[in-house]
Chain A
Amino acid sequence: MGSPDSDEALLARLRAGDESAFLVLVTRYNGSLLRVARTFVPNDAVAEEVVQDTWIGVVRGVDRFEGRSSFKTWLFRILVNRARTSGVREHRHDTYDPTGPAVSPERFDATGAWAEPVAPWESDVDDRLVAATWGPALRAALDGLPERQRDVVLLRDVEGLSGEDVCEVLGISEGNQRVLLHRGRSRLRAALESELAARGR
């Protein structure tokens, strides 16, 4: 069953009613659940209710979890279902988020080539410093994404679910998932670019 603190091992203990295993799982995932829940509901209080509801679902439903998906995917699926049935946000599958190109058209010349050189970011990368300095700007940009783009980016890039799992959790097609992901990522990149420009590098 792998490492003793793997999700699977903890679930096995939870099935047997082990409180400490439950608390390890809550410590591991509660922050992630809250973060995702907040994109579906208007305030922290409702998000906390939905997340608590999700944990009840886990405790009561753990016998039915067969390990066909990862625990994390199952957990997010419960959360999203609870958040949607809480009815706070209308999900309209037939409408798309506002579209737009990944990069503003005036950045290209008449032939479709870049009008100005693109600055390499490699030198700014890699360290934790980046997370510390860019974190606030990135968080703000993420919060500002159209909601369906935000859902996909949160699950795929922030929580690290596979594309397939994101589709399963949100109940969307692979193609739709990739379109939303692309738009969301492109906007985040543009936000970081503006942030860099604002600081004058």
Chain B
Amino acid sequence: MRTLRRDDLVCRQVVELVSDYLEGALSRRDRKRFERHLAACPNCTAYLEQMRVTIAATGRLTPEDLTAEARDEFTQLFRTWTTGEGGGHDDGPGGDTAGGGGAA
């Protein structure tokens, strides 16, 4: 058994740091503490892998495909939007420059 250093993390703390670790948001020092714990702890290593699997599986949830009816509807709408009502009427969104969509 290795002896516990004063700044060693325990498993209960490690599980709260997993997202920050995966997002690269831990300080250098905390990342080292985190990785030192992992190197000695198969349970937390397995837990980190479970989180990775969860994230990967979440990323594979596919949205519904566009139905043929919806496609026809959008075709009609596009024609209305681009030819129909007055072009000068400005109710569009802002651009993508800073400040367009809600500040920090």
Contacts and interface: CB of A to CB of B under 8 A. Distances in A.
> Is the pairing of A and B real?
yes
Interface of A: 17, 19, 22-23, 26-27, 30-32, 34-35, 52, 55-57, 59-61, 64-69, 73-74, 77-78, 80-81, 101-103, 105, 108, 111-114, 117-122, 124-125, 128, 130-131, 134-135, 138-139, 142, 153, 157-158, 160, 163, 167-171, 173-174, 178, 181-182, 185-186, 188-189, 192-193
Centre residue among B10, B44, B59, B61 by max chain A CB count within 10 A: B61
Interface residues of B, number: 55
Interface in B32-66: 42-44, 46-47, 49-51, 53-66
Given A35-B63, A130-B57, A178 B19 contact: yes
B67 to A, nearest CB: 10
Given A60-B92, A118-B46, A178 B66 contact: no
B101 to A, nearest CB: 4
A168 B98 CA distance: 10
A61 B92 contact: yes
Considering the complex of A and B, which 4 residue pairs feature the smallest CB-CB distances, nearest first?
A31-B63, A112-B10, A171-B102, A61-B92
A131 B60 contact: yes
B44 A118 contact: yes
Contacts, number: 188
A157 B58 contact: yes
B57 A134 contact: yes
B66 A31 contact: yes
B15 A111 contact: no
Given A34-B64, A117-B43, A178-B20, A59 B82 contact: yes
B93 A192 contact: no
B3 interface: no
B28 interface: no
Contact of B96 (A32, A68, A113): A68
B61 A121 contact: no
A170 B103 CA distance: 9
